[in-house]
Structure 1
Amino acid sequence: MQIKGEGKSKIPPVVGAEHNRLGNWLTSAVVGIALLGIYHPIIKNILNNELVSKNPFQVS
């Protein structure tokens, strides 16, 4: 990375790896929270209505 007309950038090369690592962690956290938000009402409905014991092949 170079700044136009001034030579090399003052940003250390380690910044790219740290940015990538932080982005991967943040992406994983967002996906995990989204999946938890999607599956929570489904599991709650199954448990509250006791669908597994009443009709195990029709869980919806």
Structure 2
Amino acid sequence: MSSAPRREFIDHSGDWARASEIGDSGCLLVRPDHHVAWRAPSLSDAPEAELRRVLHEVLAR
């Protein structure tokens, strides 16, 4: 499979999962300087609320 934007990506070897430390339903928030600002290993029960909380924390607003 292609890894281009908006294309499906399959991690056949599991390298991405190990490196990112997230599962299939997890999430990474990456800063513009390519540092990971936040990671969730799996989907939260309230993902919208969790994202708002994290953005508030990361942006210090």
Which category of TM-score, normalised to the shorter sequence, fits these structures? under 0.3
Question: Quick one: higher RCO (CA 8 Å, sep 6+), 1 or 2?
Answer: 2
Q: Using structure 2 for the length normalisation, give the TM-score.
A: 0.25
Q: Using structure 1 for the length normalisation, give the TM-score.
A: 0.25
